[in-house]
Structure 1
Amino acid sequence: MTISRKFALGTVSALSFAAIAMGATPAGARPAAAPAAAPDGVGAKGICMGWKNAGGLPGKWTTVNDGCSHFGAKGMKMAYGWKVFKGGSVCVKVKGFNAKGKKTWYNAGCGKSGSVKAPWGNVAGKKEMQIKGAALLRWN
């Protein structure tokens, strides 16, 4: 079996491009400076980490989700927390899963802040909260 020069150069070019795309530094080049620190919940930590903003309306349940898939395990509980930074108290329900793996809303109470753990189990899904009350808050 003979390998043509054209094929060999194409393979080396493709591998070089892939290495650079993955962040490798070309031979003889200085590594790039470390990126600047990203705000909480962005960058190295990822969009799935940290606090998220949300708002509620009086007399109406508003549903928010974090847009990220969370993988559970048997017996696992998912932690939720919230804190109002503008407005009054809110009432909160959080998403969890019952023993059969069916989505269930659990009452987390009312107030200006709080935290709760909801049954999650061996399920993959987005964290979701329902909020009722005129306020802006941060949740995780």
Structure 2
Amino acid sequence: MKKTSRVIGTIAALGLGAGLALAGPVAANASTGQSAATSSAVTPLSGDCKWRNAVGPIGGGWSGASTGCNYIGTTKNTTVTYVWTKTSDTESCVQGKGFNALTAPVWQSAGCGDGGSTTILWGNVAGAKQVKVKSLAVATGSTINWE
């Protein structure tokens, strides 16, 4: 297990400048030298994990995926939280990406209206947070900020 902590430490160090976050910090047990996940929360390792913009297209359909920070899930129970707020006069619906128990991508509603949030299973997966946006005003489109 000692090699595993070195690998994770190396991945974390390499990712500091690339918007990488480690989901579930790793700590070494002093008596055994074994590493263990200490939490299933997401811990950003970089200042690059800031609010992003996304657009709901004119016509009312779902946008393509807007990509945010990269995360590495350290347990099968790791979760990530998406928070969003509208930045235009138009309300939106938003979906956040997570992963099911088989590590297949799934999209979960983060709500409709002026803003919202959702916490979704991420699991033991390395990947980037993503959202999709749908404008509730077909003629004008919409914009949001999210993290």
Output the TM-score relative to the length of structure 2.
0.60
Are 1:121 and 2:123 matched, yes or no?
yes
In structure 2, the partner of 1:85 is: 87
In structure 2, the partner of 1:101 is: 103
| Identical residues among aligned pairs (%) | 37
Secondary structure of the 2:88 match is: strand
In structure 1, the partner of 2:70 is: 69
How much does 1:87 deviate?
2.4
How much does 1:120 deviate?
0.5
Q: Which runs of 5+ in 1 are unaligned?
A: 1-43
| Count of residues in correspondence between the two structures | 95
Counterpart CA distance in 2 for 1:113 and 1:95 is 17
Per-residue CA shift, 1:44-67, capped at 9, x if unaligned?
9532x221112111412112111x
Alpha-carbon RMSD across the aligned residues, in angstroms, is 1.6
Kindly name which structure, 1 or 2, has the bigger radius of gyration based on alpha carbons.
1
Per-residue CA shift, 1:53-107, capped at 9, x if unaligned?
12111412112111x3201122111110100021211111110100111111112
Q: Which runs of 5+ in 2 are unaligned?
A: 1-44, 136-140
